[in-house]
Amino acid sequence: MKHLVPLIAALALATPAFAQEEAASVTPTSIVAGAPADGWRAIAPEDLLVMDLAPAADGSARRVVIQLIPPPFSQPWVKNIRTLARAHFWDGTSVNRVQDNYVTQWGDVTEAKPLPEGVVSPVADYTVQWCSYHVCPALPPVGNLGRRLTSEHGWNSFVEGWPIGELEGRSGTWPIHCYGAVGVGRNVAPDTGTGAELYTIIGQPQRHMDRNLAVVGRVIEGMAHLSALPRGSGELGFYTEEEADLRVPIVSVRLGSDLADAPRFEYLDTASESFARYVAVRANRNDAFYTVPAGGVDVCSVQVPVRRAG
Amino acid sequence: MKHLVPLIAALALATPAFAQEEAASVTPTSIVAGAPADGWRAIAPEDLLVMDLAPAADGSARRVVIQLIPPPFSQPWVKNIRTLARAHFWDGTSVNRVQDNYVTQWGDVTEAKPLPEGVVSPVADYTVQWCSYHVCPALPPVGNLGRRLTSEHGWNSFVEGWPIGELEGRSGTWPIHCYGAVGVGRNVAPDTGTGAELYTIIGQPQRHMDRNLAVVGRVIEGMAHLSALPRGSGELGFYTEEEADLRVPIVSVRLGSDLADAPRFEYLDTASESFARYVAVRANRNDAFYTVPAGGVDVCSVQVPVRRAG
């Protein structure tokens, strides 16, 4: 019966008192708007990847801003990505694959462009030994987040602003693929990819990608420039040679710390009381429009609030 | 301790023997390709809604095919939708809203077009008394499907080819919003909408929509014609008046049974052994590329296989 203990614990967490106390006028949006200033955390400029695509047909700019994931997650790839950005590796490459309900992927379509020195596919694990969910202080008791991710009753939560998965006593903690997550394309395992080929999730996230591909960041602005592109008709959604004109040129990719006029962002602290309320209300929408509270929420439906700073 | 019984039962179901027996070369795709002919179920022509949008800028056709949901789900709205299609209500209307990671919505942008006689917002529940998950024979023991949808430990499964949610002993069974699901737009509750205004999910499905909005079908072909459209910059992703030219005109919407050359489709029987294997392998990808099986799968990641028939 040992394996039932986490389930019992989860049930105890599932109905936080404040979930019942919110007024009907309280929505996820109103909670974020009312969060105190000290509940927000600045995103460091070196954790921003600013990708400028060629302008749209109507001449409008297309900028995509990606937040890179902080330690302890995926750092071998994040290091590569900083090296690639500083070497201007992606300038002149393109978006090459758009598969509906799956991913948009970009990089060097020729697969022949030399990589900067030191950028190799790391021998690294997709998980880190971060904590065990029942002792880790960073996992907030936000209620209703637990979801039986695996047959070994893994759980989801948030650590340092990121959605994570964890499997008790087995393989540690890992960042998970949600809509807008940025990951590292690769060939057949045990290759782990370098980070030169990146994708983002544009549909239902697939749990089977977690721990098999490295999550290195998430799109925090300009997502529609990647999600609303024409789908490729080739295998896996790659643009065929006949569709070569659909490949959106990438003008430049720079680290925020290397741009004079880099935009500044901040995210809602996932250990804050505001975030806990935000999650609970997301799980229990109960206002004029939504009259039947779901009583639960998928971790990927809880987008961590990110906004422009300053 | 009574409430723990379903959890124990679920754990027993969580590791079906066949999940361990599949060869590494077996993938969801290979299982669907190898499913016997008698494992497929024809979709009736009157359950097809064929929507022809105005041709794309390059002159190519844009047809979207929707499968309407069968009884016992959402039938008051499905009846309205058949009436609206037969009255050619949608001809000359348009796609008016595209909100990233949420929905694409279409209908009469003027909100002034008269509805056919008899089409009113039904006084109907979003759930049906179908069965209780632990006695209903239609819920296959596919393993790893159980996921704690709510704090009252609801479950997901498949009935008659559709993903469903169920809450033990409370409010019956309901169809759930997955990517490509088609639902009924409405105003503030208790209005339930007529079906004249429809949307489809183009991102992470939100469990809080279930039981608050009626799922009436799903897109089975041409999804990219709705998911890859430019996002609207107005509130909730509606196109503003300045963006009026982005509204894609709807040329016609017809029931398959009213079209001489209607396409024919079939879906994989969700009570079949092939479907059970398909789900188990989706939950435990273990091949040359995916080497760490997730051990579980979101019900919305299990897209029911649908293909052209004949």
pLDDT tens profile B116-140: 999 999 998 898 876 544 444 444 4
CB atoms under 10 Å from CB of B249, counted, come to 13
CA B159 from centroid of its chain's CA atoms: 12
pLDDT of residue A306: 98
Task: Tell me the sheet residues that pair with B221.
Answer: B65
User: Which B positions 40-59 lie with beta carbon below 8 A of chain A?
Assistant: none
Q: Is A12 on the interface with B (CB under 8 A)?
A: no
Instruction: State the pLDDT confidence band at B168, using cuts at 50, 70 and 90.
Output: low
Instruction: State the pLDDT confidence band at B207, using cuts at 50, 70 and 90.
Output: confident
Q: Is A302 on the interface with B (CB under 8 A)?
A: no
Picking from A3, A98, A146, the nearest residue to B148 by CB comes out as A146
Q: Is B203 on the interface with A (CB under 8 A)?
A: yes
Which parts of chain A are beta strand (E)? 40-42, 48-53, 62-68, 94-98, 103-107, 155-159, 162-166, 173-175, 181-184, 198-201, 215-221, 250-255, 265-268, 306-308
Residue A129: HSE in the Cβ half-sphere, 13 Å Cα cutoff: 2
DSSP class of residue A54 equals P
Q: Which residue has better confidence, B168 or A13?
A: B168
Pairing state between β B198-201 and A306-308: unpaired
Across A150-174, b (16+ Cβ under 10 Å) vs e yields bbbbbbbbbbbbbbbbbbeeebbbb
Average pLDDT of B275-283?
86
CA B73 from centroid of its chain's CA atoms: 12
Picking from B149, B230, B295, the nearest residue to A151 by CB comes out as B295
Coil/strand/helix, residue A12 = helix
User: Based on C-alpha coordinates, what's the Rg of chain B?
Assistant: 20
pLDDT of residue A276: 86
Can you give the pTM of this predicted structure?
A: 0.90
Picking from A231, A290, A296, the nearest residue to B224 by CB comes out as A231
pLDDT of residue B179: 97
pLDDT of residue A224: 98
Q: Which residue has the tokens 């950028």?
A: A119
Residue B238 phi, psi dihedral angles, 5° rounding: -70, 145
**Ranges of chain A with pLDDT below 70:** 1-21, 130-155, 167-171
- Give contacts of B292 with chain A, Cβ < 8 Å: 126, 171, 211-212
Residues 6+ apart with CB under 8 A from A4: B4, B7, B8
pLDDT of residue A92: 98
- Give contacts of B229 with chain A, Cβ < 8 Å: 228
Residue B243 phi, psi dihedral angles, 5° rounding: -105, 20
Q: Report how far residue B62's alpha carbon sits from residue B106's, in angstroms, rounded to the nearest whole number.
A: 15
- The minimum CA-CA distance between B27 and chain A, rounded to whole Å, is 12
Is the dihedral angle over the CA atoms B267, B269, B272, B276 positive or is it negative?
Answer: positive
pLDDT of residue B17: 37
Q: Report how far residue B54's alpha carbon sits from residue B249's, in angstroms, rounded to the nearest whole number.
A: 5
Has residue B180 got a pLDDT over 90?
A: yes
User: Which A positions 140-179 lie with beta carbon below 8 A of chain B?
Assistant: 143-144, 146-154, 171, 178-179
Coil/strand/helix, residue A84 = helix
Has residue B148 got a pLDDT over 50?
A: no
CB atoms under 10 Å from CB of B162, counted, come to 21
Q: Which residue has better confidence, B159 or A246?
A: A246
Instruction: State the pLDDT confidence band at B287, using cuts at 50, 70 and 90.
Output: confident
Are the C-beta atoms of residues B179 and B300 closer than 8 Å to each other?
A: yes
Q: Is A126 on the interface with B (CB under 8 A)?
A: yes
Cβ pair B203:A297 closer than 8 A = no
Q: Report how far residue A17's alpha carbon sits from residue B148's, in angstroms, rounded to the nearest whole number.
A: 19
pLDDT of residue A87: 98
Q: Which residue has better confidence, A192 or B17?
A: A192
**Residue among B292, B300, B302, B306 with most chain A CBs within 10 A, to mutate:** B292
pLDDT of residue A310: 82
Nearest to A231, CA basis, from B226, B162, B131: B226
Cβ pair A180:B4 closer than 8 A = no
Instruction: State the pLDDT confidence band at B21, using cuts at 50, 70 and 90.
Output: low
DSSP class of residue B220 equals E
Q: Which residue has the tokens 């060097």?
A: A108
Taking CA–CA distances from B290, the nearest residue in chain A reads A212
Instruction: State the pLDDT confidence band at B24, using cuts at 50, 70 and 90.
Output: confident
pLDDT of residue B7: 28
pLDDT of residue B199: 98
Cβ pair B189:A296 closer than 8 A = no
Q: Report how far residue B304's alpha carbon sits from residue B269's, in angstroms, rounded to the nearest whole number.
A: 9
Q: What angle do CA B257, B76, B69 make, to 5 degrees?
A: 55
pLDDT of residue B52: 98
Q: Report how far residue B211's alpha carbon sits from residue B184's, in angstroms, rounded to the nearest whole number.
A: 12
Q: Sheet containing A250-255: give its strands across.
A: A94-98, A103-107, A198-201, A181-184, A215-221, A62-68, A48-53, A250-255
- Give contacts of A144 with chain B, Cβ < 8 Å: 150-151
Coil/strand/helix, residue A303 = coil
- Give contacts of B152 with chain A, Cβ < 8 Å: 295
Q: Is B211 on the interface with A (CB under 8 A)?
A: yes
Q: Report how far residue A215's alpha carbon sits from residue A184's, in angstroms, rounded to the nearest whole number.
A: 7
Instruction: Give the tokens for residue A163.
Output: 């959605």
What was the ipTM of the complex prediction? 0.89
Lowest mean pLDDT of A230-234, B123-127, B165-169, B222-226, name the range: B165-169
Are the C-beta atoms of residues A219 and A200 closer than 8 Å to each other?
A: yes
Q: Which residue has the tokens 């997955």?
A: B178
Cβ pair A212:B100 closer than 8 A = no
- Distance (Å) of CA B201 to CA A124, A258, B178, B180: 36, 38, 7, 5
Are the C-beta atoms of residues A77 and A122 closer than 8 Å to each other?
A: yes
Nearest to B51, CA basis, from B100, B89, B5: B89
Q: Is B126 on the interface with A (CB under 8 A)?
A: yes
CA A171 from centroid of its chain's CA atoms: 20
Q: Which residue has better confidence, B143 or B3?
A: B143
Cβ pair B296:A206 closer than 8 A = no
Picking from B3, B204, B285, the nearest residue to A204 by CB comes out as B204
Nearest to A49, CA basis, from A272, A221, A273: A221
Cβ pair B151:A15 closer than 8 A = yes
